[in-house]
Structures are given as structure tokens and as C-alpha cells.
Structure 1
């Protein structure tokens, strides 16, 4: 199994023309900074993207990091995640096929008010995972750009002590703690760890 994320910028059509290039640049920078060696991605239709993760356990963490990176620059994003097969691997994922791509694309077309949705090929998604994702969806939707940036740096830094983060963010340790607490960083971190174990169990079951 692989993981696929399809996403797009919310209300991108309202972004003034002179700011549109900056939005596209930020989207590309977000995908580039978060992508790892086992990741392929492509931007299409202007403000949309699709990303393939050969390590499916990173699915939720990757989607959350992309969301935080873009939100820290003032953009709202919605993403449809999927776990499934890849039938026709391609270096350019626009032409790749398989249930993971199909489910991810269909999920993005159907998404309404959520920021995150998940589908799994040939099985129902566990209700507890959906419920946890719904809570995380609400929490992340409410974070500010500064809180999103602090949470992103916390989740991606090798030394994420608050003192080290204060130096990186050029602010006080107290302010870092305040921003992270408002972003519910411990709950988000626990959720990411939970999803990795959940996906590990799912992929083992499919072997």
C-alpha cells in the first residue's frame, strides 16, 4: 500500500492576480520542504496538488505539516488522504494509476467543510480514527498563522525544546510555550503517533 494526498488552496479564486504567483510559490515551497526521498508530488490546475508517499505511515503527519506550513503563510488548505494500491507507477504521478490515486481524487471532489478526509481501499475507516481526525480538523482550523508556524517548527526540529525553538523563532521561551499550548501541540503530536501505529496495523493486515 501507498499513501496519496490530493489537496487545494481554499478560495484561491479570491486571491488577487498580483498575489497569485506568491501563493503558487508558497505551495511549491511547502511541498518541497516537506517531501522526503520516498515522496513524489505534482502541482496541477493552478492551486491543486497530488502527493505520493511510498511510506504510508507518514500520511497524516505529512498532511498536517503541509497544512501548517501553508497556514503559517496565511493560506487555508483542504486535503484528501487515501491508502491504497498503485497499479502503474510513474515518475510523473499525473499518469500513475491505482486505488490510492482514485480514492484521494474522489475524496477531494466530495470534501465540504473539512480540512482533512481519509479513505482506505477495500475497507471502512475505523470510527475512532475518523472521530480523532474530526477533532484534529477543528483544532487546526482554529490555529493562527503564528501558532501554525510554531507548531510546524516544533514538529520538524531535531531539538524541539522550547528554549531552542525560541532562538529559531526569534522570540521568548514563554511566547513559544504560549503559542504551542494554544495550538494544542501535545494532542497533535499524540494524534500523529497514533496514526502511524494505526496505518502500520492496516498495512500489515493487507500483506
Structure 2
């Protein structure tokens, strides 16, 4: 089973491409190589393949990367399933994971993050959690997003070490992570990973 993330950048036309495109490429590059694992197409749309256990963290990481620019956000649909055709370019590969991801993306509407698999029960509980998590994630300010992104890049470090990486005080880092709902987001990612065995 693989995860296919299909996404696009919200408000991309209101910002210079040079501002957000390098951040998107860097975030996608963390999870594999272009064009086998990821591609950017139609200017501000992208697709990424990742092991299913990494999918939700990858989605949160991409969101934190893009939200470092004020008034920008990303919509991401995660499809979980098989890959039945493996091409040199991800946009030419196929299988249920790709179909689920595309269908989920078409149905995002006001949501910024959702997932779809072959299990309706799994999807219902996880999508409810994603909607609740989005209440805080959608309002991350650039400074908060930067702290979240750095925390995800260095999962083993303490708040003091994060503070020195970012050149901030430990109390500033602590407040940013609380504002971001970072503990709760991490618990959601862990819950998602623990529930994958159902699929």
C-alpha cells in the first residue's frame, strides 16, 4: 500500500512564484526524487508518492512549509491504496491510491486536508480529526509555521535545541508549539499510523 498526495497552492496567483515554489520543492524533495516520487504541474498543483505511514506527516510538513508565507495555504488530498502501474513519472503511474487521491481532491471544497481509502470507517474517523486539526493548522502564522516545520525536521531535539536552531528563546518556541497545537497534531499523526493496520 502506498499514499498518493494530490495538492495545490491556495492564493498562489497573489504571490510571486519565486517566494513559494522553492519552499514547495524543498518540502516535496524531503520525501523522494522528482519526477519518480513527485511532480509539480499546472503551475501550482503537485503530486507526491510516499509510504502510507509517512503520508499525514508529509501533508502537515508541506502545509507548514507553504504557510511560512503570509496568506498562503495548501489543499492536500491523501489517497491510500495499491499502485498497479509504476511509471518513470508519478503523474503517469496509476492504481487505486491515485484514483482515491484524485476523487478526494475533487471533493475537498472548503476543507484543506482529507484522505480516502477503501475503508469508510477509517476515512470517517480520520477526516473528522483532520477537520478539527485544521481549525488550528489553517490559522498558523508564518512564524508559527516555521517552528512547526523545524520541529518536524528535527523530531528528536528538545525545545532548547529548537530554540538555538531558530535563534529564538525557548519560551518563544514553547509558546509557538502550543499555539500551533503541535502536541495534538503529533498525536493525530501517531493515531493515524496505528490505525493503518486496519486497511
Q: TM-score, normalised by structure 2?
A: 0.91
In 2, the alpha carbon distance for the partners of 1:125 and 1:65 equals 25
2:38 and 2:90 in contact (8 A); partners too: yes
1:10 aligns with 2:10: yes
Deviation at 1:156, TM superposition (A): 1.9
Deviation at 1:43, TM superposition (A): 0.7
In 1, the alpha carbon distance for the partners of 2:64 and 2:163 equals 18
* SS of 2:138 mapped into structure 1: helix
What per-residue deviation string (whole Å, max 9, x for no partner) do you get for residues 1-23 of structure 1?
110000000122333xxx12333
In 1, the alpha carbon distance for the partners of 2:152 and 2:168 equals 17
1:83 aligns with 2:80: yes
* SS of 2:120 mapped into structure 1: coil
Q: State which of 172, 183, 196 in structure 2 corresponds to 1:186.
A: 183
- Cα RMSD (Å): 1.7
Deviation at 1:149, TM superposition (A): 1.0
Q: Which position in structure 2 is the counterpart of 1:133?
A: 130
- Structure 1 residues without counterparts, runs of 5 or longer: none
Q: Which position in structure 1 is the counterpart of 2:54?
A: 58
1:119 and 1:125 in contact (8 A); partners too: no
Q: State which of 68, 79, 92 in structure 2 corresponds to 1:72.
A: 68
Deviation at 1:158, TM superposition (A): 4.6
Q: State which of 20, 25, 28 in structure 2 corresponds to 1:23.
A: 20
Deviation at 1:36, TM superposition (A): 4.3
Paired residues, what number? 195
* SS of 1:72 mapped into structure 2: coil
1:6 and 1:51 in contact (8 A); partners too: yes
What per-residue deviation string (whole Å, max 9, x for no partner) do you get for residues 17-42 of structure 1?
xx12333232212211x2147x8111
In 2, the alpha carbon distance for the partners of 1:96 and 1:48 equals 16
- Structure 2 residues without counterparts, runs of 5 or longer: none
